[in-house]
Amino acid sequence: MALLQISEPGQSPVPHQFKRAIGIDLGTTNSLVAAVANKGGADNGIAKVINDTEGRAILPSVVNYAASGAQYVGYEAQAIAADDPFNTLASFKRLMGRGLNDVSDTSQFQIVTPNDALTDTADKNDVIRIATAAGEVTATQASAEILKCLTARAADALGGAIEGAVITVPAYFDDAQRQATKDAATIAGLNVLRLINEPTAAAVAYGLDKADDRYIVVYDLGGGTFDVSILQLSEGVFEVLSTGGNSALGGDDFDLAIVQWALSQANISAEQLSAQEYRRLLIDARAAKESLTDNDSVTVSIQSSSVTWAGELTKVGFDALIDALVTATIAACKASLNDADLTAGEIADVVLVGGSTRVPLVREQVTALFQQAPKTDVDPDQVVALGAAIQANSLIGNSRDSDLLLLDVIPLSLGIETMGGLVEKIIHRNTSIPSTRAQEFTTYKDGQTALAVHVVQGERDLVSDCRSLARFELRGIPPMVAGAARIEVVFNVDADGILDVSAKETITGVSAHVQVKPSYGLEESEIAQMLKASYSHASEDRDARMLAEQRVEAEGLVDAVNMALAQDGHLLNDVERADIDAAIAAVLAIVGQSDTQAISDAVAALGRVTDTFATRRMDQSVRAALQGKNIEDVADGSL
C-alpha cells in the first residue's frame, strides 16, 4: 500500500524542515535583517537579528555609485560619503515613490548632488532620478542594493538561498511608496511574502500578541519617517484602529536643525561650503545629536576653505532646536487617539521604535502625553526587523501553531471622480486591509459607450483638492439612454496595501481594470494637511458639493430639453418656444456662477415652463401607441 505524505498548505511535507525566511527593516538611516532560529538549542524559535562578519547588526542605508555601478554599500559607502558626496546616496527612502513635484527642498534628503542631478524624464510627476557616475539612479534601485546586501548576509548565516521575506514599511506609506518598495525587492531577487507596517511588526516583536486584550500605541521615530499607530490586541488579532505620522520627519531633520544652527552661528550659508564640506558637517551633526543623549554639551565645528568655526551646543539648546519637530509628533499622536475614539488613559502600553526615540526630549514628551513610561526593553533599532522575522516565519509555514492575524489600515480615503468634479469615496481611511468595496455607477449622457474612471486619494469633496492616482477607460458599453447602464466599480486593497481597481458593465459583462501604480507618492505632510483641511473646510466642501451637484442637474436638464425640442418642437407655438428658449438661456447664464440657490431657481423655472410641453409629448406618445388598436386590445393588455 502506498503512503501519502500530507502537509498543511504552505508548509513543508518533511517534518521539521524549515524554510529560510527573513524579516527586513528597510530603514531611512539604517537597515537590518532578522530570522527565527531553527537549528535547535535554547534559541530555537526565537527571532534574532543577523549580524555581518564583523558582528554588526546594522547596515547603514548608504550606497556609493562608481562608473561601474554600485561599488560600495553600507559602512564602506558611509566611510567615503564625505570624500565622494556626488555619488554617495543616503536617506533615499524619502524619495521612494515620489516625483519632483513632491520635493520642495532636496536638502532634507541628505543627498549632495549637482544642481541638475535630480531629474525626471517625462514630467514633474515622473519618478525622480539621481545623477551619479554610474548614470541616473532611482531610490528604488538604491534600495534594491541594500536589500541585496542584507539578503546575502542572511543566506550566508542560514546556509542557503532565502525563500521568502517580509519587508516593513512606514504605516503612513501610500500606495505608490509601497509599490516602489515591492519593486526594489523584485530588483533584488526577493520573494516578498508580505509588506507589513513597521508599528505592527514592533508590537509582534514585543510579544504583545500573547498579552491580554488591550490598546497599545506604537510611536515610531526613525531617521527619516515618523509613524504612530494605535492597535487593539485581542486573542492574537492585531487590529490597527488608527494611524498617523509623517514620512518626511525623523532624525535626519534633527541633524539638519543642528546644521542650520551651526551655519547661523558661523554666519555663513550652506552655499559657501563645498559638497564635501557640507556632507562632513551633516555627519558631524548626527554624531553631535547622538552624543547629547548622554552628555550635557558637545562641540560642533566647521572646517572649510572660507571659515573655521567651533561652538558648543548644549542639551538645552538642542531641545530648543527640535522642539517644534517633536511637538509635531505629539500632535499626530493626539489626532490618532481622536480617530480611534480613545483617551491617553485607556492606553495600556506605549512602545518606542526607531533610533531617534533615544533622544531624551522625545521620551519626555511621550511619557508626559501617555502618563506612563514607554517600553524600551527591546532595542528600538532592532524591534521592527525582529517582528518582521516572526511574521515571515509564520507566513512561510514554519510556525505551525501560529494564530497571529494582522489587520492594518489604509491611511487616506480612496475614491473616484464623478460628474461635476466630485469625489465619491469607495474605501474610507482607517479601513482595515485587505479590503474590497464595490459601488454602482451609471452613464451621464444618452448613447454613452465609454466611461473614464479617475482614481483619487484624499478626504475632500472636490477632485481638485485630492491627489490623482490613476486613470483608465471602460469601453464597449452598449448605447442606452442616460442612467440605464449599470457599471460596477470595485476597489481591492490587498494585504500589502496595493490598490487594484476594476469596472464592469453588468449587462454585457465588458470590463477593465488597473493596478494603481503611480510613479510618485504623497508627501506625508500633504496627507496631514489633507486630513486637517477635511475638517476645517467641512462647511465649505458641503457648499461646493451642493453647487457642483446643482450644476450637473442644470446641465442635464438643458440637454434633455434641447433633445426634446429637436424631436418634438413642432408641438409648440412661437410664444411657447420663445419662453422655453429664454428659460434655457437663463439657466446657461447662471450655471457657471457660484450661486447655488440662483441655479436651483433657474432650473425650477425651466421645469415649470416646460410642463405643458412635457404633457403634449406624453399625449402624443399615448396616441401613437393606441393608433390602430381596439378597445379589446387595450383591455386584455396586448399593447
Q: Which residues belong to the active site?
A: 25, 93, 198, 220
H or E element: which one contains 129? strand 129-132
Burial 141-168 (b: 16+ CB within 10 A, else e): bbbbbbbbbbbebbeebbeeebbbbbbb
Query: Is the separation of the CB atoms in 142 and 92 below 8 Å?
Result: yes
Q: Tell me which residue has cell 476645517.
A: 536
8-state DSSP, 96: T
Q: Is the peptide bond before 60 cis (omega within 30 degrees of 0)?
A: no
Separation between Cα atoms, residue 502 and residue 511, nearest integer Å: 7
Using DSSP, state whether 24 is helix, strand or coil.
strand
Question: Distance (Å, rounded) from C-alpha 198 to C-alpha 600?
Answer: 51
- Buried/exposed 497-522: b ≥16 CB within 10 Å, e otherwise: bbbebbbbbeeeebebebebbbbbbb
Ranges of H-type helices in 175-292: 175-187, 198-205, 251-266, 275-291
Q: At what angle do helices 596-609 and 611-626 cross, to 10 degrees?
A: 40
Residue of 175, 612, 600, 224 lying closest to 427 (CA atoms): 175
CA distance 498 to 394: 21
SS3 511: strand
Query: How many DSSP H helices and E strands does the chain contain?
Result: 15, 28
- What lies within 8 Å, CB to CB, of 443 at 6+ separation is 451, 477, 480, 482, 483, 484, 485, 487
User: For 500, how many CA atoms within 13 A lie in the half-sphere containing its CB?
Assistant: 10
Q: Is 294 helix (H, G, I), strand (E, B) or coil?
A: coil
